[in-house]
């Protein structure tokens, strides 16, 4: 019996690699404005309350996945001096392949195939950074285990929507809701 428990523990540890979507959006469901900019995010955080939501999530992951546009925004606009995810394995899903390095890999095939492959590998959790074209097929394939949706107190009115191209209903369960500095965190798990 003890041997069975040890095997179960090892198997569960191996299978426990979760896929997390941690993303901020406006009240009206936009993740970027019409030009793809996200500068409105920081401008609309009000307060001085300590908020370690990002750090808690980031400590659980060892892999980030993002689309090419998101990667370019991170490396050219948000942090051009230093790649902020250099300590994690990065996969960039794109039809325009770049040169792979030890920590950055380009992926031309479906994001669904990539996530399924990564889930079979040993490691920590996986963070889906964005954008919408990458996220939608993963939601539709029901591959996201945890959704951490941060609502920023602004109506953008137009821009790039989160969850704009879903063809079917995808049930989830609400796990937690909390507020920090006028940001509302809604946490859901796959239904």
As a whole number of angstroms, the distance between CA 21 and CA 149 comes to 8
Task: Give pTM, 2 decimals.
Answer: 0.89
State residue 13's pLDDT score: 47
As a whole number of angstroms, the distance between CA 40 and CA 21 comes to 20
If we measure between CA atoms, which residue out of 4, 7, 109 comes closest to residue 65?
Answer: 109
State residue 164's pLDDT score: 79
Q: What is the DSSP string of 141-182?
A: TT--SEEEEEEES----SSEESS-S--S---EEEEEEEEETT
3-37 in b/e form (b: 16+ CB < 10 A) is: eeeeeeeeeeeeeebbbbbbbbbbeebbbbbeeee
| pLDDT tens, per residue, the chain with 191 residues | 555 444 445 444 445 699 999 999 999 999 999 999 898 998 888 889 999 999 999 999 999 999 999 999 999 998 999 999 999 999 999 999 999 999 999 999 999 999 999 999 999 999 999 999 999 999 999 999 999 999 999 999 999 999 877 888 999 999 999 999 999 999 999 98
């Amino acid at each position: 019996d003890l041997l069975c428990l040890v095997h179960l523990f090892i198997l569960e540890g191996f299978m426990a690699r979760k896929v997390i979507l941690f993303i901020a959006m406006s009240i009206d469901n936009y993740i970027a404005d019409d030009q793809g900019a996200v500068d409105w995010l920081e401008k609309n955080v009000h307060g001085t309350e300590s908020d370690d939501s990002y750090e808690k999530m980031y400590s659980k992951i060892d892999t980030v996945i993002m689309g090419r546009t998101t990667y370019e925004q991170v490396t050219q606009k948000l942090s051009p001096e230093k790649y902020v995810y250099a300590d994690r394995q990065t996969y960039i899903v794109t039809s325009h392949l770049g040169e792979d390095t030890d920590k950055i890999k380009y992926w031309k095939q479906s994001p669904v195939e990539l996530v399924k492959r990564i889930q079979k590998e040993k490691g920590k959790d996986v963070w889906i950074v964005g954008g919408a074209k990458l996220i939608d097929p993963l939601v539709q394939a029901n591959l996201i285990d945890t959704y951490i949706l941060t609502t920023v107190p602004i109506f953008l009115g137009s821009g790039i929507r989160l969850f704009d191209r879903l063809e079917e209903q995808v049930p989830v369960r609400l796990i937690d809701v909390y507020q920090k500095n006028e940001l509302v965190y809604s946490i859901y798990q796959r239904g």
